[in-house]
Amino acid sequence: MTWKTLAHRAFTAVLCLAAALSTGCASSEAGPAPAPQVQPVAGVLGRVSVQPWTFDPAAGEETEVRYELSAPARVTVRLYGPNRESIATLVDDEPRQAGTHQERWNGRDWAGRVVPDEAYFPVVEAVAAGGKSDRWDPLATSGGERLNPQEIHFRPRDRLVSYVLPKAARVLVRAGIDPGPMLTTLVNWEPRGPGLVTEPWSGRDQQGLRAFSFDPDAEVIVQAYALPDTTIISVGNAATDYREYYLSWSHERPVKPAAESRPGLEAIESPHWRQPVHLDKDPRIVLSFPEAAEPQPDAPEEAVRLVGDRAIVHVEVPDPVTRRYLRDQRFELVAFVDDQRVDEAEQAHLPFNWSWELSGLEPGEHWLTVNLVTFRQLVGTASRRVDVVAEQAEHGR
């Protein structure tokens, strides 16, 4: 099973091949992004929306959670993060009169820190006289369904990938060779807003070693699943990584109570919807050659020199948190030489030592790529350039 097999098993949108696009690909006009989601709620709590749906809190920008009350009520508005963790409380059981209200959020958490670039959502509760209460929880009615990005274009000369989303979504963009290995993850399940989205790409593989975007068999695949309605996407905080932020204090913060299950969602739900956002990413893997004939070069762009009929390839995931996450799920390793599959280890483990048969390989330089493919459709990739030297040639030096 390869990265593309998994991708096509799920929801895929395949871009134009690079060969057909060497002169550029005309992009359709996507028009303006759709208006922010507005939701009616029965009872005392009326329409709920956010404006703007994206903002830069590091630059001092703010956003608003807007709602309507048909009668006076005591209101609580809380913000939650992508793992349903509590982020901030905007108002806590405070009185509000009938009418339209706006509660402003400056993009800071309960400790006063600017939140990382991610997707957040509000929950609004209103309790009227007599104890009548209403609650707006976007997870009760939205989020998780697989989406099909539209108007997808891959323009290697402009170093751009573009697509159109029907609503706010979490997006994955991969590039590789068809048929062959996945070579890079451009967007690793990151939040994106509705409308036209443009992603920059250098045209190189994950390690930045190999330029392949003009290869006639190059292919890009885009996947997405919907974020909850009234999602707020923060941008501009390059100093804070969400995973490190979340792991540093997640044990201190309460988690939002689970929303009721939505009938019918199971049939269209993304397998990533219920996974922890800080872990459910294409993993970074590393290749090394412990028995190489010479010390491995410090510069990764230099070829690793391999002598003889066999070489040991050591495959590892260096990050311990990711490694623990992968150990809880099944995965396999698939090896490619010059984009042709040569071996596969089902139900692999980490670290992994692969014995690579070199005897049938022409002497000279080759590309070795290893894909780690999980049954939850995560794919890690690593490539190295190797210089295969015939053993008799080595003895004749």
Residue 190's pLDDT is 98
152, 297, 310: which is closest to 222 by C-alpha? 152
What is the rounded average pLDDT for all residues in the chain? 87
Distance (Å, whole) CA 6 – CA 346? 14
pLDDT of 12-46, one tens digit each? 333 333 333 333 332 333 444 555 555 555 578 99
Q: What are phi and psi of 265, to 5 degrees?
A: -65, -35
Residue 2's pLDDT is 57
Distance (Å, whole) CA 62 – CA 390? 64
Grade residue 8 by pLDDT with cuts at 50, 70 and 90: very low
Grade residue 132 by pLDDT with cuts at 50, 70 and 90: confident
3-state secondary structure 258-289: CCCCCCCHHHCECCCCCCCCCCCCCCCCEEEC
- What percentage of the chain carries pLDDT values higher than 90? 72
pLDDT of 294-328, one tens digit each? 666 666 778 899 998 999 999 999 999 999 999 88
Strand 119-128, strand 232-234: pairing: antiparallel
Residue 187's pLDDT is 98
Distance (Å, whole) CA 394 – CA 397? 6
- What percentage of the chain carries pLDDT values higher than 70? 86
Could you tell me if 191 and 227 are in contact, meaning their C-beta atoms sit under 8 angstroms apart?
yes
For the residues 273-291, what does the mean pLDDT come to?
A: 94
Q: What are phi and psi of 245, to 5 degrees?
A: -60, -50
- pLDDT of 58 > 70? The answer is yes
Residue 148's pLDDT is 95
What is the model's pTM?
0.87
For the residues 170-178, what does the mean pLDDT come to?
A: 97
Domain 286-395 CATH superfamily = Immunoglobulins (2.60.40.10)
Highest mean predicted confidence (pLDDT) among 50-64, 248-262, 301-315 = 50-64
- pLDDT of 105 > 60? The answer is yes
Task: Provide the b/e sequence for 169-195 (b: ≥16 CB within 10 Å).
Answer: bbbbbbbbbbebbbbbbbbbbbbbbbe
Distance (Å, whole) CA 8 – CA 343? 21
Distance (Å, whole) CA 183 – CA 191? 22
Residue 9's pLDDT is 42
| Positions of CATH 2.60.40.10 in the chain | 286-395
Could you tell me if 189 and 277 are in contact, meaning their C-beta atoms sit under 8 angstroms apart?
yes
Q: In what order do the strands lie in the sheet with 150-155?
A: 150-155, 160-165, 195-200
Q: In what order do the strands lie in the sheet with 364-374?
A: 304-307, 379-389, 364-374, 331-337, 340-345
Grade residue 11 by pLDDT with cuts at 50, 70 and 90: very low
**Neighbour-count burial of 106, counting CB atoms closer than 10 A to its CB (0-12 exposed, 13-18 middle, 19+ buried):** middle
For the residues 203-209, what does the mean pLDDT come to?
A: 95
Q: How many CA atoms lie within 13 A of 260 on its CB side?
A: 6
Grade residue 159 by pLDDT with cuts at 50, 70 and 90: very high
Alpha carbon of residue 152 to chain centroid: 17
